[in-house]
């Protein structure tokens, strides 16, 4: 496990539990536009917002753009901080940083929001780089964000880089860019989802993740 020098972390469902803010804003957008949310709202946690509105609510492109606008009006001021850091995350990040690992964030959340959240919760200091989606809807998918982070930091040896996340999008995005992925079970994804997606390893707790990565 020592072969991984650089660790890319997902944000939502991996470093922080942001479901309250996300789901409140999705409900606000759906209600204002006259769409009824499905019973299983957990499916909205993980995929890019543009994809979720289209796939789960059947919105067309124009409706998706309007829904994202409504979502962000609330999220940028209120929903952003309806959020909490998962237990053990600061300790895990400190151990990994002290152990010589390069830590970065690769999230489908807009990059500006990601930086504000990490700064608010005192986690930004652990990360060398933070990559996320653009507010104009580009660089939306996980493999695009990963490519952006690797390019921005000048990393060419992908064999020493590991993606860490809680949903199948993290696993699939990592594999699409030639990276291996650690699935984690304290977030929104299940063991079944992560193994079916092909996660290369799985950690149940932040402490176990750090133990594995420093072993």
Q: 136-192, pLDDT tens digit by residue? A: 878 989 999 999 999 999 999 999 999 999 999 999 999 999 999 999 999 999 999
Architecture of domain 19-81: Orthogonal Bundle (1.10)
Q: Is 10 a catalytic residue?
A: yes
pLDDT of 137: 78
Q: Cα 43–48–52 angle (5° rounding)?
A: 45
* pLDDT, tens digit (0-9, with 9 covering 90-100), for 116-152: 999 999 999 999 999 999 988 789 899 999 999 999 9
Round to whole Å and give the CA distance between 18 and 80. Answer: 8
Give the mean pLDDT of 71-78. 93
What's the pLDDT band for 46 if we cut at 50, 70, 90?
confident
pLDDT at 197 over 60: yes
β-bridge pairing 161-165 and 6-9: parallel
Contact 158, 150 (CB under 8 A): yes
Let me know: does 179 contact 198? Beta carbons within 8 Å: no
Whether pLDDT at 58 is above 80: yes
Return the pLDDT at 148. Answer: 98
pLDDT at 42: 87
47 pLDDT more than 90: no
pLDDT at 20 over 70: yes
**CB neighbour burial string for 5-31, b if at least 16 within 10 angstroms, e if fewer:** ebbbbbbbbbbbbbbebbbbbbebbbe
Output the pLDDT for position 90: 98
Per-residue model confidence (pLDDT) at position 142: 95
| pTM of the full structure | 0.88
pLDDT value of position 1: 56
Q: Establish whether domains 6-17+84-214 and 19-81 are of one fold.
A: no
Fold of domain 6-17+84-214:
Rossmann fold (3.40.50)
Q: What is the pLDDT of residue 2?
A: 59
- Tokens 């990490």: give the residue: 118
Identify the active-site residue in 5, 10, 17, 200. Answer: 10
At 109, list the tokens: 């959340």
Decide if pLDDT at 212 tops 90. yes
What three-state secondary structure class fits 186?
A: coil
Three-state secondary structure call for residue 182: strand
Domain boundaries, the chain: 6-17+84-214, 19-81
Q: What is the pLDDT of residue 79?
A: 93
Q: Kindly tell me if the per-residue pLDDT of 83 is higher than 60.
A: yes
User: Residue 81 corresponds to which tokens in the numbers above?
Assistant: 């901080």
pLDDT at position 138: 87
Instruction: Assess whether pLDDT exceeds 70 at residue 213.
Output: yes
């Amino acid at each position: 496990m020592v072969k991984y020098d650089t660790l890319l972390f997902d944000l939502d469902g991996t470093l922080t539990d942001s479901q309250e803010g996300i789901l409140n804003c999705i409900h606000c957008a759906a209600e204002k536009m006259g769409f009824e949310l499905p019973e299983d709202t957990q499916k909205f946690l993980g995929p890019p917002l543009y994809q979720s509105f289209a796939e789960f609510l059947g919105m067309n492109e124009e409706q998706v753009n309007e829904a994202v606008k409504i979502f962000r009006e609330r999220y940028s001021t209120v929903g952003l901080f309806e959020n909490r850091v998962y237990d053990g995350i600061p300790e895990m990040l400190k151990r990994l940083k002290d152990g010589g690992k390069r830590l970065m964030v690769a999230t489908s959340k807009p990059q500006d929001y990601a930086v504000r959240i990490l700064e608010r919760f005192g986690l930004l200091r652990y990360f060398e780089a933070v990559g996320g989606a653009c507010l104009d809807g580009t660089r939306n998918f996980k493999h695009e964000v990963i490519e952006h982070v690797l390019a921005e930091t000048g990393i060419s040896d992908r064999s020493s880089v590991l993606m860490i996340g809680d949903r199948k999008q993290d696993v699939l995005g990592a594999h699409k860019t030639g990276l291996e992925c650690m699935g984690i079970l304290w977030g929104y994804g299940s063991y079944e989802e992560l193994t079916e997606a092909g996660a290369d390893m799985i950690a149940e707790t932040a402490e176990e993740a750090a133990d594995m990565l420093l072993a």
